[in-house]
Amino acid sequence: MKRLAAGLLCVCALPATAAAHVVDEYLQVAQIALESDGVRVELRLIPGAQLADRIFALIDLDDDGLLSPAEQQAYARRVLQDVTLDVDGRRANLALADLAFPVRREMNEGVGVIRLKLAAQAALGMAGDHRVEFRNDHLPELGAYLANMLVPASDKIEVLRQQRDPRQHGLRVDLHTRTAASRWFWGAGLGLFGLCLSLVVGRVRLSARTRNRQVIDPGCHGFDIR
């Protein structure tokens, strides 16, 4: 009883609806994968429970309480209009690769996840420096944003720097791509440099030894032994 009383005393200090998961924001999570032939973006859009009706109404255009495939496609296109991807300063054509929508009940409870898979072609496999810039401006008055770069699957792509705005609407990534050819080039170059270095060192040592013999060996009588 004492235990319960203590618990309830504490409860009085809790705000109303203390169990609140965030219910009044539209969480929008972007995960970006860099590949040698392009960029893949997975968007997870999770309306808080208080926003479920509002977001559902945006999707359910005919107001029949169901999200038809056509309505899902239409909403995905709307999101796509609010999302941009630039690669090396040029706008990339992000296309919808896959989509999945939750049922109404899941959205009402704040656990419904709209998943959109987007893809754009980009020559990130080309050796050199690249810049990828992603931005999501979908429903900014409601949104809370996360934008993250996945570790590239290819070890040729090295992420150098990431930058975000304070609310994570945008993510800019600077990266460098090494190709097998460039690695061979650098490997061969290093080998050649090593060979030259050893030749120079050998020559210097030989010269030094020769000078020493000229000084020490009186039998040479000052003649150059070369």
Partner 1 sequence: MKVTTAALHLCVLLAACSRPTAQQQQNAATAGTTTAADATARTVAAAEAFLATLDDGGRTKISFDFNNQQKSKWSNFPVGVYPRNGVRWGDLNATQRDAALRVLSTALSKRGLQKVQQIMEGDEVLKAAEALHGSGPMGSASAGTPMGGTPAGGTMNATRAGGRPMSGAPMGGRRAGAGPPTDMAGPKFGRDEYYLAFLGAPSLTQPWMIQFGGHHLAINVTMVGRTSVLTPSLPAAQPAIYKLDGQTVRPLGSENDKSFALINALDATQQTKAILAYQVSDLVLGPGEDGKTIQPEGIKASDLTAAQQRMLLDLAHEWVGILNDEAAAAKMAELEAGLPETWFAWSGPTTNGSSAYFRIQGPTLLIEYAPQRARGSTGLDLDHIHTIYRDPTNDYGARLVHR
Q: Which residues bind partner 1 (CB under 8 A)?
A: 1-4, 6-12, 14-25, 27, 29, 31, 49, 56, 60, 65-69, 72, 98-106, 108-111, 113, 115, 144-146, 148-151, 159, 162-168, 173
Residue 113 class from Cβ within 10 Å (0-12 exposed, 13-18 middle, 19+ buried)? middle
Cα separation, 26 vs 115, in Å, equals 13
Distance CA 29, CA 35 (A): 20
Comparing CB distances to partner 1, the nearer of 98 and 217 is 98
In whole angstroms, the minimum distance from the beta carbon of 162 to partner 1 comes to 6
Whether 150 and 32 have beta carbons less than 8 Å apart is answered as yes
Decide whether 29 or 122 has the Cβ nearer to partner 1: 29
Quote the CA–CA distance of 161 and 171 in Å, as a whole number: 10
Q: How far is the CB of 63 from partner 1 (least distance, A)?
A: 11
Report, in Å, the least distance between residue 57 CB and partner 1.
12
Q: Which C-beta is closer to partner 1: that of 22 or that of 196? A: 22
Closest contact distance (angstroms) between CB of 126 and partner 1 is 20
* Residue 99: how many other CB atoms lie within 10 Å: 17
